[in-house]
Amino acid sequence: MYTTRTDERGRLKLPADFHNFVQNQEKKLFVTSLDRRTVRIYFLEAWRKNEALLTAQRGSQAAKNILFTANELGAEVEMDPQGRVPLSAELRAELQIANNQSVRLYHNSGRIEILSDSEYKSQREKAVANPEADVHSMEEVGLL
């Protein structure tokens, strides 16, 4: 997990490892939130697969809600040469990410996830509540 900041224009500065990885992949990104708590950065090709999956679930209200949220808060963007990714004003407002604010990010299942400081603290509080029981529970289903 990395700590970085948004700048005065609401752009997220990616750490060098992420910058290099993104730079060597597809240039277009889709930046959004699906849960109104975390930001997700997808390569456009990966997002198109998610979009097709959600669209195919015509009868699912959950799929409709997720697609609505993704489109309301999302935008296609490109990382600039300095490794900055723009976050829309709507996305930053919804997730309470201010300009020049510290955020946490990590790679998860083919996407980059961004946590505001308050969301990071909330998730950390849950993760440290009972780690031994969590590990034991996952070892019972095959965690090595």
pLDDT for res 52? 96
As a whole number of angstroms, the distance between CA 86 and CA 80 comes to 9
Q: What is the pLDDT of residues 18-49, one digit of tens each?
A: 887 777 777 799 999 999 999 999 999 999 99
pTM of the model: 0.89
pLDDT band for position 88 (cuts 50, 70, 90): very high
**Positive or negative torsion for Cα 127, 132, 138, 144:** positive
Mean pLDDT throughout 114-139?
95
pLDDT for res 135? 96
* CATH of segment(s) 2-117: 3.40.1550.20
Mean pLDDT throughout 93-108?
93
pLDDT for res 129? 96
As a whole number of angstroms, the distance between CA 130 and CA 141 comes to 18
As a whole number of angstroms, the distance between CA 22 and CA 82 comes to 12
DSSP of 15-69, one letter per residue? Answer: -HHHHHHHHTS-SEEEEE-SSSSEEEEEEHHHHHHHHHHHHH-TT-HHHHHHHHH
pLDDT band for position 72 (cuts 50, 70, 90): very high
pLDDT for res 20? 75
Domain ranges of the chain: 2-117
